[in-house]
Amino acid sequence: MGQLIAIVRTAVGDGRWRRSLALAVAFAIGCGLLSWWQFARREESAHQNALVQANYDRASAVPLSDALRTLGAYDDGRQKWLPVELRGTYLVDHQLLVRDRQSNGNPGFEVLTPLRLQDGDVFVVDRGFLNVGSKQDRPDTVPAPPPGTVTVVARLQKDEGPIAGRTAPVGEIPSIDLHAVAKQVGAPTYTAAYGQLKSEDPAPAIAPQPLQAPSFGDEEGTHLSYAIQWILFAVIGFGALGWSVRRDLLDAGDPEVTEADTRAAERRRRRPRDEDVEDALLER
């Protein structure tokens, strides 16, 4: 205890070490803030995972007009993956293929088909995934959506927006840019969110591959690990300062630190070595 008091007294009172102490305190504060940020990220990640599981696995479909009150309404923090039910007619002439998509590691396209609702508004449905063709950079076939009036259940996703500098051939689109789709359709269109298809009634004889379910990584554990690491860094900073001050006091011959160091060395000398313990056991 006397050694610790001497180290603290020197770090606080000696002008040579006061600046180092201030740096150690500032470093610890920075580590504390970063640790707090990681704890907050972990809490946010846990909330999002719980929301996704609730919406994707357990939520019942609600009418689209109840979930999205206006064409530009959507709350990604609350409505992501929420299933909605809608009824209308697919606009096959305005169907688009979204380029550069993947499913289970395979490259391909997603089929984006606008659905004209019974009130005349348009809602964009992502009907699923198609692999790249065997001989060309397009699917070999694009299954047609059900004709006539269809009842669709789809899970809400936010608009991806345009990708700067990216273009696509006619009939394709580089991203799910709902404003671009609305411009092509030429009718009032939901532009904040689209739907990933869950079911169609009537169901077509041939349909694109279902889109992959959301995956849950170990983000919560990663954020917790980082938070603890930042706390350890702060402790290490003070430990390094204490070690440096102690070495300085030893060199200066401080009696309390020197005596404590001597006692520690004596205890180490008296501690039996592994070889001595083994020899004693063999002799017995």
Cα–Cα distance list, 273 to 55, 277, 279 (Å): 63, 6, 10
Can you tell me the distance from the alpha carbon of 57 to that of 178, in angstroms, rounded to the nearest whole number?
26
The pLDDT score that the predictor gives to residue 23 is: 82
Which of 28-42, 171-185, 216-230, 238-252 has the weakest average pLDDT?
238-252
The pLDDT score that the predictor gives to residue 204 is: 92
The pLDDT score that the predictor gives to residue 283 is: 64
Residue-wise pLDDT tens digits, 213-230: 887 656 667 888 888 898
The pLDDT score that the predictor gives to residue 156 is: 96
User: Alpha-carbon Rg of the chain, whole angstroms?
Assistant: 33
- Higher confidence at residue 21 or residue 31? 31
Domain boundaries, the chain: 1-58+222-256, 61-201
Q: How confident is the model at residue 274 (pLDDT cuts 50, 70, 90)?
A: low
Can you tell me the distance from the alpha carbon of 243 to that of 7, in angstroms, rounded to the nearest whole number?
9
Q: How confident is the model at residue 153 (pLDDT cuts 50, 70, 90)?
A: very high
- The type of residue at 166 is R
Other beta carbons less than 10 A from residue 195's beta carbon: 24
DSSP per-residue codes, 81-95: T-EEEEEEEE-GGG-
Can you tell me the distance from the alpha carbon of 191 to that of 124, in angstroms, rounded to the nearest whole number?
9
